[in-house]
Structure 1
Amino acid sequence: LPQVLPLLRALGATGLLLEYEDTFPYTGPLELLQAPHAYSPAELRALLSRARALGLDVVPLVQSFGHMEFVLKHREFAHLREVKELPNALNPHKEESLALVKAMIDQVMALHEDLQWFHIGCDEVYYLGEGEESKQWLQQQDNTPEKLCLSHIKAVATCLASSYPMVTPIVWDDMLRGMSEETLAESGVPQLVQPMIWDYAADIDVEGKVQLLEKYRRCGFSKVWFASAFKGATGVNQSLTLIGHHLRNQLEWLQVASRSPGGALEGIALTGWQRYDHFSVLCELLPVAIPSLAVCLQTLKNGGYSEKVKENVENLLGMSNLEVDTFMSTSLGTFPGSHILTLVTEVSFYLKSSVDELLERNRYVTGWFSPYHRKRKIIHPIIIHHFQPDAVSLLCKWNAVLHDLQAAMEQVFHRCAVEEWMEENVYPSLQKLQQVVDDLDEAIEAQN
C-alpha cells in the first residue's frame, strides 16, 4: 500500500477511507479481534504518516452496528448479538454494546492524528428488531424499527462527538433511505452525521439519487457523500475487474453530482471491497484492480472519460493499451502490482479451461483413462504416448506460473491471504491435473 499511495495521489485521490476490521492492532480486552495478519502499530503509523505527507486525508471506518461479524463471532462478545445465533448485528439495547463501540473507536482514534471525519458504518443491519429485547421494545407504543436504528446511530454519533468534537461522523445511508423525512428530522441524527449514499451499479437511478439527496438536505443533513466502486461489487468471488462496469458507475455519479444543490456534496468515496462480508471469499485483489481505480479516479477528476483521460491513465500506469470493455489486456504496465495482474489474468483465463480441455475433451483421456480406468490402474500402452506428454507439459507450465504468482503475491499479501486465493482459484484445477498425472504414473508402473 505505501508504494501505491503516490500513484493514487497522482491519479487525483485526496483521501483514504480505511475499514480496518480485524487488521487493526487492538489491545487489551479487544486484542482477540486482531487477525494474525493485523498491522502492527508501527506499520500503521508509517502508513498514516506516508498518507499525510502526500496530502491524503485519512478517514477510518469502524463498523458500529451491522457487519460486526469480526467482533461478534468471538465467544467473549457473542452475548452482544442482536439475534443470539447471528453474529452480524450488534444489540442496540445493551449498554455494553455502546461501550464496546466506544472502546474500538478510542483505540483507532489514538493511532490517528488530525482527523476531520470518522466513518461509523451502520449499513446492512440485517435482522434488526428480531432479537428478543428488540421484540419487547417494539411492542411499546410508537416504537418502530426505524426509531430503533436511529437511536443507536445517534448514541454512537453522540459518543464520538463528545469525545472528539472536531471530528464529523459519517454513516452509510442504506438504513436511512426508506425512512420518512419526519422520522429522520425528529431523530436528531441529521445534526450529528453526514450520510454516504452508496450505489455500485453501472446504471444507477440518477433521478432517484437526486431526490434522495434533496430529501436528506430537507431533513437537516448539512452535507452528503457519494460512494461508487472501483472493484469488489460485481461478484462475490470475482477474480478480475471489468473496468467498463465501474467506469459507467462513476459516470452515473457524475450525473447525480451535476444535478445536486450547490454545497451539498462533501466528497465521493471510491470503494474497493475485498470481501462482501467477513465470512465470504476474497474478490478482486487490489493490484488486479489498480487500472480500474486509475480510470475511475481520472474520470471523476476530469468530469468524464475521454481519449485524453485514457492517455493520462496509460502514462501513469506505464500501459501502452488500456482496455475498459474486456478483461484481457496485452499491456503489462509498470505500476506497483502489475506483475500480479498479469499472472492472475493468465490463471483466470487459461488454467481451468486448459485443464478441462485435457481432462474432459481429450478423447484419449475420456476414452482410455476414465475414472474407471484410473481406479483400476488400467492403461493401454499405446494410449500413454497420446496424452502423457501433454499432461506433464501442462502441469509443468502451470506449476511455473503459480510459483511466480505466489512469489509476487507474498511480496504484497500476508501468507494466509495468498493461501486462501490459491485454494479458491488455483488448486481445484491444478490438483485435478496433478492427480491425473499421478494416476497415470501409477497405471504405467502397474503395467511393468
Structure 2
Amino acid sequence: KFKNIRGIALTGWQRYDHFAVLCELFPHGLPSLGLCLKLMQQGVLAPADIDALAKDMKFTTSIPINPFVCANIPVCNFPGSSVYQLMIEFVHAEAACKEFFLLEGMATWMNDYNVERGFINPIHVEPLLIRGQSLLQTFHAMEEKLHSSFADVFVTGVESEWRGVFLSPCVRRLEDAVEKAQRVVSDKHVV
C-alpha cells in the first residue's frame, strides 16, 4: 500500500508558541510511544509484543492500553515512571474533583445564593465537607510527590509551570469549597 515510503521521522516541539502550555513528551507518554514504535516496526501489535514491552519497562502487569481508566495505578520502573504514575493519579483525582463539583448537593446545598444568605442545613453540607477535605488531602499528597518525581526528569521551571497550570487550580477550587462549607457549618445563623 505504501511502497514509496522509505522511513518515518518522529519530530516534536516543546510548545506551539512561547506562551502555550507545555506539550513536550512527558515520561507518561513513553509506554504509548513504545507501543506505537512497535506497531510501526512490525505493522501489527500482538499481545506478546505488549507483554515484551511491559517486561522491558518493568511493569508488574501488562501495559494498560488506557491507563487513565484502570482502577489501579500500574506498578512499573522505567526512567520517569514516577511521573507516569503521578500523571495517572492526577487524572483520577481531577476527574473526582470535577465529579465533586457536579454533585447535586453542591448545586442544591452549597450554591452561592444559599451560602451568602445562610440558607444551609449542616446535615446536607457536612458530607460534602468531608468529601471535599478528602479530595484536598489527595491533591496535597500529590503536591508532595511532585518535586521528587519531576526533579529527576525535567529542568527547573517545568514543575512550577505544571503545578500552576494543572494542580493549583484544582487545589484552589477545593480549598474555597471546603472553607465555605466549614464556615456555613460552624455559622450560628444556619437555618
Per-residue CA deviation, residues 132-183 of structure 1 (Å, 9 max, x unaligned), is xxxxxxxxxxxxxxxxxxxxxxxxxxxxxxxxxxxxxxxxxxxxxxxxxxxx
* Residue-pair matches, total: 186
Q: Which runs of no fewer than 5 residues in structure 2 stay unpaired?
A: none
Does residue 355 of the first structure (1) align with residue 87 of the second (2)? no
CA distance in 2, matches of 1:274, 1:346: 23
- 8 Å contact kept, 2:109–2:125: no
- 1:305/1:355 Cα in 2 relative to 1: closer, same or farther (>3 Å)? closer
Instruction: Report what 2:28 is aligned to.
Output: 288
* 8 Å CA contact 1:332, 1:339 repeated in 2: no
Offset at 1:302? 4.1
Query: Which of 51, 55, 61 is 1:315 aligned to?
Result: 55
Distance 2:118 2:23 in 1: 39
Structure 2: which amino acid aligns with 1:336?
A: P
Structure-1 separation of matches of 2:162 and 2:46:
35
Q: Which residue is equivalent to 1:339?
A: 82
TM (normalized to structure 1)? 0.37
What aligned pairs does 1:28-43 form with structure 2 within 5 A after superposition? Answer: none
- Conservation of the 8 A alpha-carbon contact between 1:288 and 1:341: yes
8 Å contact kept, 1:317–1:333:
yes
Judged with a 3 Å threshold, the aligned counterparts in structure 2 of structure 1 residues 296 and 387 are, in CA distance, closer, same or farther, namely: closer
Contact 2:133–2:178 (CA under 8 A) maintained in structure 1: yes
Residue aligning to 1:386: 127
Report the counterpart of residue 175 of structure 2 in structure 1: 434
Equivalent in the alignment of 1:395: 136
Q: Summarize the Cα distance change of 1:328–1:339 in structure 2 as closer, same or farther, 3 Å threshold.
A: farther
Aligned residue number for residue 197 of structure 1: none
Contact 1:377/1:442, CA 8 A, preserved across alignment: no
What is the CA-CA distance between 1:289 and the residue it aligns to? 0.8
Partner of 2:4: 260
Determine the structure 2 residue equivalent to 1:419. Answer: 160
TM-aligned CA deviation for residue 441 of structure 1: 2.8
Q: Tell me: higher relative CO, structure 1 or 2? Use CA pairs within 8 A at least 6 residues apart.
A: 2
Query: Do 1:287 and 1:338's aligned partners in 2 also have CA atoms closer than 8 Å?
Result: yes
What residue in structure 1 maps to residue 16 of structure 2?
A: 276
Task: Find the aligned partners of 1:298 and 1:360 in 2 and give their Cα distance.
Answer: 40
Summarize the Cα distance change of 1:273–1:326 in structure 2 as closer, same or farther, 3 Å threshold: farther
Q: Structure 1 residues 403, 342: closer, same or farther in 2, change over 3 A?
A: same
Give the Cα separation in 2 of the matches to 1:341 and 1:434. 26
The answer for the alignment partner of 1:116 in structure 2 is none
Distance 2:93 2:24 in 1: 17
Q: Measure the CA separation in 1 of the matches of 2:68 and 2:110.
A: 35
**Aligned AA (2:31):** P
What is the rounded CA distance, in whole Å, between the counterparts of 1:305 and 1:408 in structure 2? Answer: 30
Greater share of strand: 1
Tell me: CA distance 1:422–1:300, structure 2 relative to 1, closer, same or farther (3 Å).
same
Does the Cα contact within 8 Å between 1:344 and 1:405 map onto a contact in 2? Answer: no
Matches within 5 A, 1:358-377: 358-363=100-105, 365-376=106-117
Is 1:409 the counterpart of 2:150? The answer is yes
Matches for 1:22-421 after TM superposition, within 5 Å:
256=2, 259-260=3-4, 265=6, 267-283=7-23, 285-302=25-42, 304-319=44-59, 320-324=61-65, 327-329=68-70, 330=72, 331-348=74-91, 350-363=92-105, 365-376=106-117, 379-421=120-162
Q: What do residues 196-235 of structure 1 show as CA deviations (whole Å, max 9, x unaligned)? A: xxxxxxxxxxxxxxxxxxxxxxxxxxxxxxxxxxxxxxxx
* Contact residue 299 and residue 305 of structure 1 kept, 8 A: yes
Deviation at 1:408, TM superposition (A): 1.0
User: TM-score with structure 2 length normalisation?
Assistant: 0.78
Which has the larger displacement, 325-334 or 416-425?
A: 325-334
Cα distance in 2 for residues equivalent to 1:298 and 1:276: 27
Supply the RMSD in Å over aligned alpha carbons: 2.8
Structure with greater helix share of residues? 2
